[in-house]
A and B are shown apart, each in its own frame.
Chain A
Amino acid sequence: MQHVANLARREEARQEQVAIEVANLSHVYAGAQGAVPALEDISMRVGAGRFVVIVGPSGCGKTSLLMMLAGLRSQGQGTILCHGRPIPDPDPQRVGVIFQEASLYPWLTALDNIEFPLSLRGARDRETREERRERAEAMLKLVGLEGFGERYPHELSGGMKQRVSIARGLVQDPPVLLMDEPFAALDEQTRMTMGHELLRIWSTTSKTVVFITHSLTEAVYLADEVLVMSARPGRIIDRIPVALPRPRSYEMMATDVFGQLRERIWQQIRKTP
């Protein structure tokens, strides 16, 4: 039985295109008291268009892993491939990143913030100002903020800021989106709404998403697959496929399947010291 399931899974993996492939990644950083092993032998494979959520205790190196996937931090040993090519430096055409705090530039309006990555390309790009503006406005509309383009970040609520942030991540149309606890600073209700919104946007754009969170409910609600990481040094200790149908709805949270998945992740996390 087990054997058959493995065969089927291998077949599936061959058919689908692989967006991110990490093999035997280890990382040690120099701390104040000598070398600290941060990541240990991480291997993972994310199929194109999949929504993968990573959960784990604080300080397990989730963010480090994400920074490496984005090319923002030099990696230790092992390989990271993004659509078959390594990513030594940030490449916004391939990977977009959305951060924990909204990290919007307070001196730019919402629309200018969304347009910012496009404007960086400047001369390298043949796109005209009007075209860039149009694209930014289309993104604003996609995240449901039409009419708020001229507001400055401090004039927006936490949820709205994170919507702008998502729009900024999507505007260059990268096939892969990395999200580092994007909703951590939001209150519970806004957080659920934003998760739902994210799924809606994801379903219309067919991106590959790697999403980091502390919230087990959020993990199960969003993911195709949940990766559980151990405390430092971070290892992947469990991979849990979430077989809930899509589109997801709030009612699913009350189901037994949802509860069991949540419980399984919780058991894995509390095992780690």
Chain B
Amino acid sequence: MKIVVARLALLALVLAAWELLPRHQIVNPLLLPPLGDVLGMLGELLQRPQVHLAIGVTAAEVVVAFVIAVPLGAALGVLIAENEYLGDVFKPVLFYVFSIPKSIFLPMFILVFGISFAQKVAYAAFTTTFVVMLSAAAAVESVKQDYLLVARSYGATRTQILLRVYVPSMMPLLLEALRISMIFNFTAVMIAEMYASRAGIGHLIAGWGENFQMRQLFAGVILLAAVAILFNETVRTLEARCSTWRT
């Protein structure tokens, strides 16, 4: 309880500094507009139809890419976790893939799909699939062989093993996998929109940055950060609930 108060105090301190330092010209308000102004701008932006459209486009891209990447990545992940040989072959490759900036493939997606909705979705799904794959493999491998042996010794069928052993014991990890994949997915959509696009929040943010519209820019940053944190915390709460039995 005390710690929550301390954390809130810390947050209040940061926000107060953001408001007061530029307000009193200690920090250049042209570079960092006071928090009040930024929040005012955020309210104003949320009224604009152009922003509504951008939010809609970005949300659609995020959702479609996620819906494509999760089953695909999960299937591949289960494959490399269940099949020892495929795992031996591909797991080291995945680690290399993680150290490569996936953004360098953006030009290829643009060449194939043009600067379009499909290009954003394809790029985001491409990068997210790798993460889902890795986390799915980790989730499958986390199921203890003992649990399976016990289930089998009591004569559980394949379906029963799947539903009553695999799913519950993987649940916390599955949620974590979904959460992390979503972070990746969101980032990928943002990068793709900021790189080359005609629509979406990322496009707006990049434009505001180029035109030095700092209030709009910070309002956009706050909006996106708030959405990301809200999603993350919701799933983390679910995770905590599903994993009360974990020590």
Direct contact of A and B (CB under 8 A): no
